[in-house]
Amino acid sequence: MAGQPAWMSTWDGGGMSQTDDYRGLSFWHDTVPGPLDPAPSLHGDTEADVAIVGAGLTGMWTAYYLNKADPGLRIALCEREIAGYGASGRNGGSCSALFPASLSKLDRMAGRESAIAMYRAMQHTVNEVGNITIVENIDCHYAKGGTVMFARSPAQLQRARDEVDEARLYGFDETDMRLLSAEQARDLGGASNVLGAVYTPHCAAIHPARLARGLAEVLRSRDLTIYEKTAVQRIEPGRLITSGGTVKAGHIIRATEGYTPELAGYERAVVPVYSLVIATAPLPDAVWAEIGLDTRPTFSDLRHLIIYGQRTADGRLVFGGRGAPYHFGSAVRPSFDRVPEVFTALRKTLIELFPVLGDVTVTHAWGGPIGIARDWCASVGLDRSTGIGWAGGYVGDGLSTTNLAGRTLADLITGNDSAITRLPWVDHQSPAWEPEPLRWLGVNAGLRVMTWADHAEARTGRPSRIAGAFSRFIGA
């Protein structure tokens, strides 16, 4: 596009098998060690005990824990591109204990104790990811610095208080989540217009492609097969029909998150909503002295249309947010990963957040689809009558949740009746999304409402009633 900065045109997609320039997918792919050449595809028919569709973190954690439980299991992963191609390799790198459904919502769904158990399991999962990276020697720059959610308007401060109040109601104390004063918040990260913040230690910053590619290497070292450039065309009980042949298996796991609507029969299971991200050039020490984030807490503020960021191990800011449009028919295309206006808006927001950045150079810009279930509740489960399992609907909180999903699926498949198989998201069935054009109208209206609400709150300082009403309406 004429006049656009170079970083916006580094990669412009194309068809489904767009280009094999996987380095160009994101800053993370650009800086992950090792080659990104696709591993051999499936050629001909084969058999396995468990066949997994998608080699993102859901698919790979499931394979990892299945192998740990029973090294004799034959596990085959079929990946349309390369392991870590999707959201798992290109997210914001915030490995948090966040779960898309709130404590009070889970309480309404399954009761107080189940809600608390779910949130405790998420906290444990952040540590589990860290432990496995040590055990398996995956250097993904894991730094458990917690996360800070800045409150930058009176309305955001009210939401910060509400969030902490809800945590207290369910017995989560200061060691889990606390309200920071403006001064304490600024000590952690020197953002502008800060009135306070919520801080929780249950979060780690990571380099997601290093985690995804590292995990793929671990699986290969245990003789598990990841067929790359192998597209699954159809999921049926007992078999996968792929571009390279049929995989017969007693258990099939669907681990395709934002790409799920492309699979026949799953068109309305989740909606793919795009999250977009930019990375700055490495910042000078003088700038870091102002910004802080010394222990690498990930950060966001409490606006409605989510923003998020991290200080990378090599001294950059990676910063993302929603706002890209939802595409009719839940379409997913590589070209949707890049929206120049959203990148420009993200850069502007980042500079507003940290004015010391001045005319900062952005070196990378990318995006990808997240999966949202109709009731905004992630789920994992196994249909014992068909042998087909799934996990997803993580919204933007999948980086750690995929690990819990993988452990849970392994337990469900091997029949291990563990505590995590009784968590409230297990076998939860979200309703299907509306048919088009209602879906397109509803999702894009929602994105607009959130944007307007943030502008109105920034102007008036008062909580937006329309955003609250909309959230209740969609059950978020």
Ligand X SMILES: Cc1cc2nc3c(=O)[nH]c(=O)nc-3n(C[C@H](O)[C@H](O)[C@H](O)COP(=O)(O)OP(=O)(O)OC[C@H]3O[C@@H](n4cnc5c(N)ncnc54)[C@H](O)[C@@H]3O)c2cc1C
Residue ranges that bind ligand X, judged by CB under 6 A: 53-59, 78-81, 85-88, 90-94, 96, 231-232, 255-259, 263, 275, 277, 308, 320, 367-370, 392, 394, 396-400, 402
Query: Torsion angle, CA of 338/343/198/87, rounded to 10 degrees?
Result: 10
Instruction: Yes or no: say if 115 and 103 are a contact pair by the CB < 8 Å rule.
Output: yes
What is the β-pairing status of strands 75-78 and 225-227?
Answer: parallel
Instruction: Give the distance, in angstroms, between the CA of residue 61 and the centroid of all CA atoms in the same chain.
Output: 14
Instruction: Give the distance, in angstroms, between the CA of residue 200 and the centroid of all CA atoms in the same chain.
Output: 18
**Coil/strand/helix, residue 332:** coil
Min dist CB 212 to ligand X, Å, is 7
Instruction: Yes or no: say if 420 and 404 are a contact pair by the CB < 8 Å rule.
Output: yes
Cβ within 8 Å of residue 251, ≥6 positions away: 49, 50, 51, 382, 387, 388, 389, 413
Closest to 178 in 3D by CA, of 201, 144, 154, 205: 201
Task: Report the length, in residues, of the chain.
Answer: 476
Tokens 């997803």 map to which residue? Answer: 392
Min dist CB 461 to ligand X, Å, is 28
The residue among 265 and 355 lying less far from ligand X, judged by its C-beta, is 265
Min dist CB 59 to ligand X, Å, is 6
Instruction: Give the distance, in angstroms, between the CA of residue 362 and the centroid of all CA atoms in the same chain.
Output: 22
Cβ within 8 Å of residue 433, ≥6 positions away: 268, 269, 270, 271, 330, 374, 439
For residue 14, the one-letter residue type is G
Min dist CB 460 to ligand X, Å, is 30
The residue among 179 and 365 lying less far from ligand X, judged by its C-beta, is 365
The residue among 56 and 424 lying less far from ligand X, judged by its C-beta, is 56
C-alpha span between 419 and 111 (Å, rounded): 16
Min dist CB 466 to ligand X, Å, is 26
What sign results for the dihedral spanned by CA atoms 220, 223, 229, 235?
Answer: negative
Min dist CB 271 to ligand X, Å, is 13
Q: Which residue's Cβ lies closest to ligand X? A: 398
The residue among 94 and 421 lying less far from ligand X, judged by its C-beta, is 94
C-alpha span between 409 and 407 (Å, rounded): 6
C-alpha span between 440 and 463 (Å, rounded): 27
Instruction: Yes or no: say if 338 and 455 are a contact pair by the CB < 8 Å rule.
Output: no
Min dist CB 186 to ligand X, Å, is 23
The first and second tokens of residue 220, run together, are: 């290969």
Min dist CB 284 to ligand X, Å, is 25
The residue among 157 and 199 lying less far from ligand X, judged by its C-beta, is 199
Min dist CB 322 to ligand X, Å, is 9
Min dist CB 15 to ligand X, Å, is 14
The residue among 206 and 453 lying less far from ligand X, judged by its C-beta, is 206
Task: Please report which helix (H) or strand (E) contains residue 277, including its range.
Answer: strand 271-280
The residue among 62 and 153 lying less far from ligand X, judged by its C-beta, is 62
**Helix and strand counts by DSSP (H, E) for the chain:** 13, 18
The residue among 83 and 191 lying less far from ligand X, judged by its C-beta, is 83
The residue among 257 and 375 lying less far from ligand X, judged by its C-beta, is 257
The residue among 64 and 394 lying less far from ligand X, judged by its C-beta, is 394
237 CB burial (10 A radius; 0-12, 13-18, 19+)? exposed
The residue among 331 and 441 lying less far from ligand X, judged by its C-beta, is 331
Tokens 């999702």 map to which residue? Answer: 443
What sign results for the dihedral spanned by CA atoms 195, 198, 199, 203?
Answer: negative
Min dist CB 124 to ligand X, Å, is 15
